Amino acid sequence: MKFDTIITGGDVVTESGIETLDVALRDGKIMALLARGSQAEADERVDASGKLVLPGAIDIHFHCRAPAYPERGDFATETRAAAAGGVTTIFEMPISKPCCARPGIFRARRQLAQANAYVNFALYAAPGLRRPEEIREMADEGAIGWKIFMTEAPAGRDDEFEGLCLPNEDELFEALKLVAETGLVCVVHAENNRLLEYLTARLIEAGRNDPEAHGDSRPPVVEALAVATLLTMNETVGANLHIAHVSSREALDMLRRFKATGSTATGETCPHYLVFTEDDMRRVGPYAKINPPLRSSDDQAAMWEGLADGSLIAVTTDHSPFTPEEKERARTDIWRTPPGAPGVEELVLTMMDAACNGRMSINKAVELISTNGAKRFGIYPHKGVIAVNADADLVIYDTTRSTTIDANRLFTKAKLCDRLYDGMTFQGRIDRTIVNGRTVFLDGKVIGEKGWGKFVRPDRAHVDRSL
């Protein structure tokens, strides 16, 4: 058999461990895993000697908001950034203008992404309008899952969040019952709206508008209380729940309590909660304004513990591009700047750095940024693993070199907002990113083409509730 590409000489990270294999690709698939040094015929041979061959990362929590706000970024710019970061599939959240809460909007976003994406993409939908036929239709159209906020829509952004925000328990209960029928995962932004609004009002009354006021308005109890409410409600409903961006020990402990008594809910955290603390809010100001906020060093330690013991199944970016002008509003009023920061170009680097420095195994890092997300959302074994018949989404990673983040050289359109990571050095370097069998990023340059990425549908029969 002749192959399109053979990756030779690399140490291949499979589910069995790190193996000395050659990886043979054809028609966008992994067609064979061969003994190292195989002389099989191929149009292209890629030398990965001394490097790791990883499954491409899957970022299960990603925002570009297209077609809204092109000045912040779009499917082309932000999936270029994903390719540069070794992310071969992104799960795009439904915040847009208008919100992706109706089948027609879902189809339009899918068409837009298909024309522009450099890497593979999946789309979440918003179920908060609570229309059964539309929810079923979006599931049939291929939604990867659902997204719900337990908070009110941000002021002035109602159209972007229509169908997403369910701060009232009766509406949340109704929506969870509807999404439970689809079997798809429902990702929930868990913060208690009433307590959040109360604390924010008190801070504003006291004249607080400094960067630290943001964290004071959303302490860990706001997050933990929402997790408790959600998972208590779900003991009756039985929806397939996943807690977004867990940031605090209190919230993690609440998730553990419910899992200990049979809950199948899962949770994720983000690199910024693993690498930074509230001290970095003081360092970079509004560029570190994120929801939930950066926490204490104890909360940071808890996130690493949650990854180690399996309480948290995935690390994902919550990549959120904005403009410097939007972030700079907070110099005079922290309440006016939008929350979020870019980060898709640092996901693989953060977790592989942890592996290279002995904080976890390389296989554990791969599970957290690729395999577990694929299993949880029903796209495994086509994605998230290096195996015969899997999609040829791969990263060649050089552990002998290092990468220092220079914001000016990033690919996200929001690169000037990437103040948190700017100047940081990670062990390792992403040499090459392969999507659907074709190299899209090589030696610091994006060489792929927009429209190469494919739409990813879940297999509802294989959505994994056992993680």
The CATH number of the domain holding residue 152 is 3.20.20.140
- Please state the rounded mean pLDDT for residues 215-228: 98
The answer to the question of residue 247 being in a domain is yes
What's the pLDDT band for 368 if we cut at 50, 70, 90? very high
- pLDDT number for residue 330: 82
- Please state the rounded mean pLDDT for residues 383-400: 98
Instruction: Say yes or no to pLDDT of 54 above 90.
Output: yes
The answer to the question of residue 408 being in a domain is no
What's the pLDDT band for 332 if we cut at 50, 70, 90? confident
The answer to the question of residue 204 being in a domain is yes
Tens digit of each residue's pLDDT (9 = 90 or more) over 229-286: 999 999 999 999 999 999 999 999 999 999 999 999 999 999 999 999 999 999 999 9
Q: What is the pTM of this model?
A: 0.98
The percentage of residues in the chain with a pLDDT greater than 70, rounded to a whole number, is 100
Phi, psi dihedrals of residue 338, rounded to the nearest 5°: -75, 150
Q: Which domain holds residue 257?
A: 56-382
The answer to the question of residue 21 being in a domain is no
The answer to the question of residue 41 being in a domain is no
- Please state the rounded mean pLDDT for residues 165-178: 98
Domains held by the chain: number: 1
- Please state the rounded mean pLDDT for residues 460-466: 97
The percentage of residues in the chain with a pLDDT greater than 90, rounded to a whole number, is 97
Comparison of pLDDT for 169 and 156, the residue scoring more: 169
- Please state the rounded mean pLDDT for residues 105-123: 98
The answer to the question of residue 49 being in a domain is no
- pLDDT number for residue 27: 98
Average of per-residue pLDDT values in the chain: 97
What's the pLDDT band for 155 if we cut at 50, 70, 90? confident
- Give the burial string for 364-390 (b: 16+ CB within 10 Å, else e): bbbbbbbbbbbbbbbbbbbbbbbeeeb
The answer to the question of residue 418 being in a domain is no
Instruction: Say yes or no to pLDDT of 192 above 90.
Output: yes
Instruction: Say yes or no to pLDDT of 11 above 90.
Output: yes
The answer to the question of residue 431 being in a domain is no
Instruction: Say yes or no to pLDDT of 156 above 90.
Output: no
